[in-house]
A and B are shown apart, each in its own frame.
Chain A
Amino acid sequence: MPLSRESLMYLSMARCSEPQRLYRRLEGRRNSDVVHECRDYHTAGKNSCFFNKNNTLIWVSYNITVVATNALGKTYSDPLDIDVVYIVQPHPPEKLEVTVMKDQGWPFLRVSWEPPRKADTRSGWITLIYELRVKLEDEESEWENHAAGQQKMFNIFSLRSGGTYLIQVRCKPDHGFWSEWSSTSYVKVPEYLHREKSVWILVLVFSAFILLLLTWLIHMNSHSLKHCMLPPVPGPKIKGFDKQLLKSGKSDEVFSALVVSDFPPTTSNYEDLLVEYLEVYMPEQQELMVDKGKDHDGCLKSIGLASDSDSGRGSCDSDNLLMDKSGAPKEEQQQQNQEGDQIGKETQGPKEAWEKEAMPCANEDVVSPDASSEKVKTWPSVFSPVTPYSPLDPHNSLEMHKQHCLSNTQFPPGSPSSDHYIKEALQSSYWEVCFNNNQPYPQTEVHPQLQAHSDRNISAVNDRNAPTGLLLPTRMTEYVEVQRVNEENKVLLHPIPSGHSREKACPWVGQRDDYSKVKGVDSDNGLLLQREVVEEESMEMAGAAESCYTSSIAFTTPKPTACSPVALPVQDERVLAVSGYVDTATVFSVHT
Chain B
Amino acid sequence: MQLETILPVCSPAHKQSFVLCVVAMCRAVPINDLIYRASQQSDKLHALSTMLTQELGSEAFPIDRVLACHTSSLQTPTDKEQALQVSESDLLSLARSLLQAWSDPLEVLSSSTNVLPYSAQSTLSKTIQKMQEHSKDLKDGLDILSSKMGPAAQTITSLPFIQTNEIGQDKITKLLSCFRRDSHKIDSFLKVLRCRAANMQPQVC
Residues of chain A touching chain B, judged by Cβ–Cβ distance below 8 Å, are 6, 29, 31, 33, 57-61, 63, 81, 83, 85-86, 120-125, 127, 150-152, 174-175
Q: Name which residue of chain A comes closest to B195, CB basis.
A: A124
B185-205 interface mask toward A, CB cutoff 8 Å, 1 = contact, 0 = none? Answer: 101100111111000000111
Residues of A within 8 A of B83 (CB): 125
In the complex with contacts A59-B181, A174-B43, A125-B203 CB distance below 8 A? no
Q: How many residues of B contact A (CB 8 A)?
A: 29
In whole Å, how far is A84's beta carbon from the nearest beta carbon of chain B?
A: 10
C-alpha gap A152/B50 in the complex (Å): 27
Residues of B within 8 A of A151 (CB): 203
B191 touches A120 (CB 8 A): no
B195 touches A175 (CB 8 A): no
12 contacts across the A-B interface (CB closer than 8 A): A57-B78, A58-B80, A59-B181, A59-B184, A61-B65, A61-B67, A120-B80, A122-B195, A124-B194, A125-B188, A152-B203, A175-B47
In whole Å, how far is A62's beta carbon from the nearest beta carbon of chain B?
A: 10
B181 touches A63 (CB 8 A): no
In whole Å, how far is B118's beta carbon from the nearest beta carbon of chain A?
A: 26
B84 touches A125 (CB 8 A): yes
C-alpha gap A60/B78 in the complex (Å): 8
In whole Å, how far is B77's beta carbon from the nearest beta carbon of chain A?
A: 8
7 tightest Cβ-Cβ pairs between the two chains A and B: A124-B195, A81-B63, A124-B192, A124-B191, A124-B205, A125-B80, A57-B78
Residues of A within 8 A of B191 (CB): 124-125, 127, 174
In whole Å, how far is A93's beta carbon from the nearest beta carbon of chain B?
A: 15
In whole Å, how far is B46's beta carbon from the nearest beta carbon of chain A?
A: 6
In the complex with contacts A85-B184, A125-B188, A31-B65 CB distance below 8 A? yes
Q: Which of B46, B79, B84 contacts A58 (CB 8 A)?
A: B79
In whole Å, how far is A7's beta carbon from the nearest beta carbon of chain B?
A: 11
B66 within 8 A of partner (CB): yes
B65 touches A59 (CB 8 A): no
B71-101 interface mask toward A, CB cutoff 8 Å, 1 = contact, 0 = none? Answer: 0000010111001100000000000000000
Residues of chain B touching chain A, judged by Cβ–Cβ distance below 8 Å, are 43, 46-47, 50, 62-63, 65-67, 76, 78-80, 83-84, 181, 184-185, 187-188, 191-196, 203-205
Residues of A within 8 A of B203 (CB): 150-152
Residues of B within 8 A of A61 (CB): 63, 65, 67
In whole Å, how far is A70's beta carbon from the nearest beta carbon of chain B?
A: 28
Residues of B within 8 A of A86 (CB): 50, 184
C-alpha gap A313/B89 in the complex (Å): 121
In whole Å, how far is A197's beta carbon from the nearest beta carbon of chain B?
A: 38
C-alpha gap A133/B50 in the complex (Å): 28
C-alpha gap A125/B65 in the complex (Å): 27
Residues of A within 8 A of B181 (CB): 59, 83
A59 touches B78 (CB 8 A): yes
In the complex with contacts A174-B43, A175-B46, A175-B47, A123-B195 CB distance below 8 A? yes
Q: Name which residue of chain A comes closest to B194, CB basis.
A: A124
Q: Name which residue of chain A comes closest to B189, CB basis.
A: A124
A123 touches B184 (CB 8 A): no
In whole Å, how far is B163's beta carbon from the nearest beta carbon of chain A?
A: 21
A150 touches B65 (CB 8 A): no
Q: Name which residue of chain B comes closest to A63, CB basis.
A: B65
C-alpha gap A446/B170 in the complex (Å): 144
Residues of B within 8 A of A120 (CB): 80
Q: Name which residue of chain A comes closest to B43, CB basis.
A: A174
In whole Å, how far is B82's beta carbon from the nearest beta carbon of chain A?
A: 10
Residues of A within 8 A of B184 (CB): 59, 85-86, 175
C-alpha gap A60/B181 in the complex (Å): 9
Residues of B within 8 A of A150 (CB): 203-204
In whole Å, how far is A81's beta carbon from the nearest beta carbon of chain B?
A: 4
C-alpha gap A175/B53 in the complex (Å): 14
A29 touches B78 (CB 8 A): no
C-alpha gap A81/B76 in the complex (Å): 21
Q: Name which residue of chain B comes closest to A84, CB basis.
A: B79
Q: Name which residue of chain B comes closest to A174, CB basis.
A: B43
In the complex with contacts A123-B192, A124-B205, A57-B46 CB distance below 8 A? no
A33 touches B65 (CB 8 A): yes
Q: Which of A31, A122, A123, A175 contacts B50 (CB 8 A)?
A: A175
A60, A81, A124, A151: residue with the most chain B Cβ atoms closer than 10 Å: A124
